[in-house]
Amino acid sequence: MDISVIVPLYNEAESLPELAAWIERVMRDNSFSYEVWFIDDGSTDSSWQVIGELSRKNPSIKGVSFRRNYGKSPALNTGFVRAEGDVVITMDADLQDSPDEIPELYRMITQDGYDLVSGWKQKRYDPLSKTIPTKLFNATARKVSGINNLHDFNCGLKAYRNEVVKHIEVYGDMHRYIPYLAKNAGFARIGEKVVKHQARKYGTTKFGLDRFVNGYLDLATLWFTGKFGAKPMHFFGLLGSLMFFIGFIAAAAVGAIKLWNMYHGLQYSLVTDSPYFYIALTTMLLGTQLFLAGFVGELVVRNSPRRNSYEIRSEIRH
């Protein structure tokens, strides 16, 4: 099979027939063999009934319905597990992503050799309250991830080599960072394509401003787990040792100052009368706790069933 199209959705009953017809027309015009997975994320409207009707008319249309709303990432991951096409295309169900982009995305994967191609909605039909935070978010994501050629990490229109979606796990709200997840899994050939952004035709957006706050928190989590997830002692142990050393030197300095004053007959006070002594003691305690956190983290990693799970590109045997 050439292409699997994955469409996560929540209360998009009005747009589904038009989207399905549009995808079918593009596939037919380009002679692609395909499947479409509509992942209904616990919709409360008639979305699931519409998917059922579309599937009866076109066997290439398939669907999964969640019992409740879990979010876009679980919906995408469910589609990734089921995708059988050589190239996997993801797009939103609100008609803001154009299926006419599919042939070129397919070509970039199969002929240009990309592992992942992300869309870039260079011209957007969104208010400034959304576009400005988006630009700041993408700038931060580029800096942290090191994927400097992407302008729009969160664009729903993306193309993947099938191997990529089988080697990444999208959870929580990590759909914003799929290129970063792919890079951490060893798929570094990541490209970008300028795509057309269309104004929403039906319904309203399902995302609020809280996604920007959550997005930065998720990015910090992904950076930390990608850099220190397998070696927590390298972070906690180093930071804890440094804090303990600074606290120890500070406490020693407080004691040394008292001894100097005693030796030279100067006025002195008890070490415990100095606030610096308690600051130093607190720093040493925090350093010890951080070191122990790294040690516990190492024990957890060592007992993980995936501690020796590595992404293998190829293997030669005789």
Question: 72 lies in a domain?
Answer: yes
CA distances to 38, 60, 86, 111 from 33, in Å: 17, 9, 10, 17
Question: 62 lies in a domain?
Answer: yes
Whether residues 154 and 263 share a domain: the answer is no
Write down the H helix ranges in 95-209. Answer: 102-110, 128-145, 162-165, 178-184
Q: Is there a contact between 13 and 46 (Cβ–Cβ < 8 Å)?
A: yes
Distance CA 37, CA 105 (A): 18
Question: 117 lies in a domain?
Answer: yes
User: What is the extent of the structural domain holding 296?
Assistant: 233-302
Distance CA 150, CA 179 (A): 9
Whether residues 276 and 176 share a domain: the answer is no
pLDDT value of position 131: 67
Q: Which residue has the tokens 């983290």?
A: 297
Whether residues 146 and 262 share a domain: the answer is no
Whether residues 261 and 211 share a domain: the answer is no
Give the CATH number of the domain where residue 213 resides. Answer: 3.90.550.10
Question: 138 lies in a domain?
Answer: yes
Distance CA 250, CA 259 (A): 14
Q: Is there a contact between 187 and 164 (Cβ–Cβ < 8 Å)?
A: yes
pLDDT value of position 172: 78
Partnered with residue 158 across adjacent β-strands are: 90, 118
Q: Is the dihedral of CA 229, 233, 239, 240 positive or negative?
A: positive
Q: Is there a contact between 151 and 192 (Cβ–Cβ < 8 Å)?
A: yes
Whether residues 62 and 200 share a domain: the answer is yes
Question: 311 lies in a domain?
Answer: no
Question: Running DSSP on this structure, what letter comes out for residue 272?
Answer: G
What are the per-10-residue average pLDDT scores of the chain (318 residues)? 96 95 97 96 94 95 94 93 96 93 97 95 66 77 87 91 93 86 91 83 59 67 68 82 92 86 79 85 92 81 59 56
Question: 312 lies in a domain?
Answer: no
Number of domains in the chain: 2
Question: Running DSSP on this structure, what letter comes out for residue 190?
Answer: E
